[in-house]
């Protein structure tokens, strides 16, 4: 058995300490610190379910808010009603968006396309509206309307409850008019919408004002501005609130911007 000299022992100990420190630093750098895209909640804790809930909701809660039932295609006449301009001032909404020719718009939850049609003429001739909905019947009605009106720059997209099925990084402005509160998987939908945005693009929520008891809409179909900001402001969504425009009779217009990647 060989006996090590004191200097050799000291040198080997020093090497062991250096290697151990390096391993510790690496484990913090690669695993212990939360990654930029890590979610702030665990998936199984994201949604909760309650038996005692609003009959107009689905009994599923996200960040303490009950998710509403999806409006079925039988509700189309309500979307198309003559009084809508007077009640919701859709023309003022379109004005507030400041759309420009050439823009790529995503109308998510487009329904029968009332809002898509108003936006399509603003971005024509080179821009287009990607009209996303989960109900084929809504998209069929939208296609029929475009054929009748001779509109060629609206593209129907059949989405999924967890994904808008949009191309990555291409959208200049995404809008949800009376839609977000119906998403069965709001977290996943917003991640998908954020992925579809080009950096600096705008994501617009038009929701009936929960704060205003005089707005004649069922409770789970309304949203408070603070709740929208809380849900959309999760860091992993990379969407920053920029402004809320309150010029409509019943609804908030709440606008977020897709953050530019950090260099």
Ligand X SMILES: C[S@@+](CC[C@H](N)C(=O)[O-])C[C@H]1O[C@@H](n2cnc3c(N)ncnc32)[C@H](O)[C@@H]1O
Q: Which 178-197 positions form the footprint of ligand X (CB under 6 A)? A: 178-179, 182-183, 189
In the complex with ligand X, which residue's Cβ is closer, 103 or 190? 190
Residue from 219, 213, 160, 208 nearest 180 by CA: 208
In the complex with ligand X, which residue's Cβ is closer, 115 or 254? 115
Map residue 16 onto helix, strand or coil: helix
Structure tokens at 81: 């009603």
The yes or no reply on residue 208 touching ligand X (CB under 6 A) is: no
Angle between helices 136-149 and 114-123 (to 10 degrees): 50
Contact 136, 158 (CB under 8 A): yes
In the complex with ligand X, which residue's Cβ is closer, 24 or 161? 161
Question: Of residues 93, 104, 105, 108, which one binds ligand X by CB under 6 A?
Answer: 108
The yes or no reply on residue 204 touching ligand X (CB under 6 A) is: no
The yes or no reply on residue 71 touching ligand X (CB under 6 A) is: yes
Distance CA 168, CA 238 (A): 14
Q: Of the listed pieces 50-58, 105-113, 193-201, 211-219, which binds ligand X according to CB under 6 A?
A: 105-113
Can you list the pairs that 235-244 forms with residues at least 24 positions away whose Cβ atoms lie under 8 Å? 235/40, 236/36, 236/37, 236/38, 236/39, 236/40, 236/191, 237/190, 237/191, 237/194, 238/194, 239/190, 239/194, 239/203, 242/202
Distance CA 30, CA 257 (A): 29
Question: Of residues 24, 161, 169, 200, which one binds ligand X by CB under 6 A?
Answer: 161
Query: Shortest distance, CB of residue 96 to ligand X, whole angstroms?
Result: 15
Q: Of the listed pieces 8-16, 131-139, 243-251, 253-261, which binds ligand X according to CB under 6 A?
A: 131-139
- Residue 188: how many CB atoms within 10 A of its CB? 17
Map residue 163 onto helix, strand or coil: strand
Q: Which residues, other chains included, contact 259 with Cβ-Cβ below 8 Å and sequence gap of 6+?
A: 199, 238, 239, 240
Question: Of residues 106, 110, 173, 223, which one binds ligand X by CB under 6 A?
Answer: 110
Q: Count residues contacting ligand X (CB under 6 A)?
A: 22
Question: Of residues 135, 191, 194, 238, which one binds ligand X by CB under 6 A?
Answer: 135
Q: Are strands 57-62 and 47-49 parallel, antiparallel or unpaired?
A: antiparallel
Query: Shortest distance, CB of residue 159 to ligand X, whole angstroms?
Result: 4
Distance of CA 180 to CAs 69, 185, 242, Å?
Answer: 11, 10, 18
Q: Of the listed pieces 109-117, 145-153, 231-239, 246-254, which binds ligand X according to CB under 6 A?
A: 109-117
In the complex with ligand X, which residue's Cβ is closer, 172 or 207? 207
Binding map of ligand X across residues 136-155, x = CB under 6 A, - = no contact: --x-----------------
Q: Which residues form the interface with ligand X (CB under 6 A)?
A: 70-71, 79, 108-111, 114-115, 132-135, 138, 159, 161, 177-179, 182-183, 189
């Amino acid at each position: 058995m060989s006996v090590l000299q004191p200097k050799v022992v000291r040198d080997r100990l020093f090497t062991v300490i250096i290697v151990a420190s390096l391993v510790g630093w690496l484990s913090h750098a690669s695993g212990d610190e939360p990654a930029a895209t890590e979610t702030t909640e665990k998936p199984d804790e994201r949604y909760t379910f309650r038996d005692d809930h609003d009959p107009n909701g689905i009994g599923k809660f996200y960040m303490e808010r009950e998710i509403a039932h999806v409006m079925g295609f039988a509700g189309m006449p309500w979307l198309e009603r003559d009084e809508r301009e007077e009640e919701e001032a859709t023309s003022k909404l379109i004005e507030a968006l400041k759309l420009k020719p050439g823009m790529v718009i995503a109308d998510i939850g487009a329904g029968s396309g009332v809002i898509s049609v108003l936006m399509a003429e603003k971005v024509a001739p080179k821009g287009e509206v990607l009209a996303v909905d989960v109900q084929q019947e809504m998209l069929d009605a939208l296609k029929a309307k475009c054929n009748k009106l001779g509109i060629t720059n609206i593209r129907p997209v059949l989405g999924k409850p967890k994904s808008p099925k949009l191309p990555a990084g291409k959208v200049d402005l995404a809008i949800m008019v009376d839609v977000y509160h119906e998403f069965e998987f709001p977290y996943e939908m917003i991640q998908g919408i954020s992925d579809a945005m080009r950096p600096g693009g705008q994501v617009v929520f038009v929701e009936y004002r929960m704060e205003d008891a005089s707005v004649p809409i069922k409770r789970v179909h309304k949203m408070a501005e603070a709740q929208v900001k809380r849900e959309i402001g999760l860091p992993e969504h990379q969407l920053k609130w920029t402004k809320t425009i309150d010029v409509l009779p019943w609804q908030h217009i709440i606008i977020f911007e897709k953050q530019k990647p950090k260099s």
